[in-house]
Structure 1
Amino acid sequence: MTPYDGIPVIDTHIGFREAGYDEYAFITRQTKDRESRDEYSMPAQYMFTGVPADLSTDDPISVTLHEMDRHGIEIGMVSMAKESGQRAVRMFPDRFVPQGSAVDPNDIMGTLNRMTREYEEFGIVSVSSFAAGTFPQVALNAPQMYPIYAKCVELDIPIFACAGIAGPRLKSAVQHVELIDDVMFDFPDLVFVTRHGCEPWQDLAVKLMLKWPNLYYSTSAFAPKHYPKAIVDYANTRGADKIIYAGYFPAGLTLDRIFTDMPHVPFKDEVWPKFLHENARKVLKLKG
């Protein structure tokens, strides 16, 4: 028995291991240390143990679906940047929902055109941002990001954005959590969901979530045993509607690791359904 038995799960950060696709090339072209460039299979490997390896790439959709079924994941949000993601939402629209390709504020018009195209073709329910991975780097509150935020508001979709110290050995100032305050002030209708922890500014993230109604936090790239205490405490008090489950399979964590840890997270009983699926349904506007 677990505290969340019978509760469906929506994973807002899941994907596929696709043959011949170097999903980290945009990071390693910026890193300067030897391990990141020449030794690691993923640029933040020093942070993770048990990175999923030796996954079959013959049918990546079936591999991910199998793992989802084993762990009660009803729906996964997947990127349209990969062919496998596009194929998955077409073949299994009841299991996968489409997230737009990561935004590139160094190509504003290209990004806006791609957002429109993916919205019309796939019905994307969100887009993603990795400020530290942009090249050259563009901060979360930089002018280049503002047309992208405006487009999100126009399409009525949220942006999931990495915030806090970047895992890869890149400069992280462009992801400082305090920058989100500017964004929410200028775009009060924008739904903004943080990714990858907000550390070491998780207390500031809580303060900003209290301040801004449309600011949320997702738990991507963190094994549940490492969820920041400030986030767990916030979910158990005033923030039950603000914290959203996200995994990191197959990029850095196995679902076995995540769901072995999960029962030990000290959420209150009433928080689990909100955390595991209700908040995601609301933010992504999915039918219940």
Structure 2
Amino acid sequence: MIIDSHMHLIRSKCFDKPTYDWLGQSIPSDTNIDDLVNWMKKAGIVKAVCMAQDMSRIWNSEFGEVAVAEAFKKYPDFFIPFCSVEPLDKAGRFCQEKFDYFKSMIEDHNYRGVLITPPYGQFMSNDKSLYPFYEYAQKQDIVVQYHHSAAGGPTVLAHTKYAQMVNLNDVIFDFPNLKVVVEHIGYPWSEYLFTLMVNDKNLYTDLAMLYKRPYWLTWNMVMAKETGVIDRVMFASDFVAANNDLFSENPTNDFIEWIEFVRTGMNKICEKSGWPLFTESEINGILYENAAKLYNC
């Protein structure tokens, strides 16, 4: 069994075309939800943490909160839904409208967490204007998930200076019981992230979008093992759309390839490199058990 701990559902109409044309970025095509669930199940995925992505503050786009709502309604036993908000308004102030929406999705619609993406919204995660969101999330015992990483390619959407890991250090210090997930093992500050994970047992991370860097990923998993935090690393696909970014026209094949890399590929690299091997328990943890523990499923 596999849990995909981080993927996206979209509606192309929720992207602002003039903005994306100006940026030179293409807008992904919608994915039929039945096809997506079928692709994932064929790969052995039994649950998926799904979210849109709010980028309305700077880029006038929000991926498609409606897509998450529709998918969760249709497949409530498969999807673990998150909302996504940018906590600041366009003037850089606390956004009451987004806070009210956040509370409604948690209290009225049984969502399990919230996605916040500082580099896309050009704000710092330790900005005190965000703290009411963290206070509420900690009280409700839900997950705050961050894109707290550099972008993996030549994108102009995400500014790296807003993703520095030192900002997150302030947040986990001020909210010691807050459940946090950092996507992409905090690339390129993974070692710093693992140190924070040693300090905070509520801090998790995922492997999304890193499978095409097999040696770098494997070495970082060796470091996670050495620092004793590999039990909080989770498999994730970061799916957005077929034929988009790293995904082919048949995403099942991509899911299977990446799952198999975690299951056997990392240990093949370790054997060649003289690095410690990963145990079956550690591998099963990444693929299923760590996410199941976090989401109690």
Aligned equivalents of 2:41, 2:195: Cα separation in 1? 36
Question: For residue 163 of structure 1, what is the aligned residue in structure 2?
Answer: 148
Q: CA deviation at 1:82?
A: 2.7
For residue 265 of structure 1, what is the amino acid of its counterpart? M
TM-score normalised by the chain length of structure 1 = 0.79
Alignment of 1:45-64 (within 5 A): 57=30, 60-64=32-36
Any stretches of 5+ residues in structure 2 without a counterpart? 53-63, 268-277
2:225 matches 1:236? yes
1:204 Cα deviation from its structure 2 partner: 0.8
Residue from 194, 204, 207 that aligns with 1:219: 207
In structure 1, distance between residues paired with 2:98 and 2:292: 25
- AA at the equivalent of 1:201: W
Note the C-alpha offset of 1:19: 4.6
Structure 1 segments (4+ residues) deviating >6 Å: none
Identity among equivalent positions (%) equals: 21
C-alpha distance in structure 1 between counterparts of 2:188 and 2:230, whole Å: 21
| Alignment deviations for residues 191-242 of structure 1 (CA, whole Å, 9 cap, x no partner) | 1110134222111111111122111111123226446345311443412321
Give the conservation status (yes or no) of the 8 Å contact 2:71–2:79.
yes
Structure 1 residue aligned with 2:266: 265
Aligned residue pairs total 256
The 8 Å contact of residues 206 and 230 in structure 1, kept in 2 or not, is answered as no
Task: Give the alignment of 1:65-80 within 5 angstroms.
Answer: 65-79=37-51
- Counterparts of 1:88-237 in structure 2, within 5 Å, are 88-106=71-89, 107-134=94-121, 137-167=122-152, 168-169=155-156, 170-223=158-211, 225-226=213-214, 228-237=217-226
Measured against aligned partners, the alpha-carbon deviations of 1:241-263 in whole angstroms (never above 9, x if no partner) come to 21011111135333423431432
Q: Specify the SS of the correspondent of 1:13.
A: strand
What secondary structure does 1:188 align onto?
A: coil
Q: What is the rounded CA distance, in whole Å, between the counterparts of 1:239 and 1:109 in structure 2? A: 36
Where do 5+ consecutive residues of structure 1 fail to align? 1-7, 43-52
Select the residue among 13, 17, 34 that pairs with 2:6: 13
Does the C-alpha gap of structure 1 residues 242 and 86 become closer, same or farther in structure 2, counting only changes over 3 Å? Answer: same
Higher helix fraction: Structure 1 or Structure 2? 2
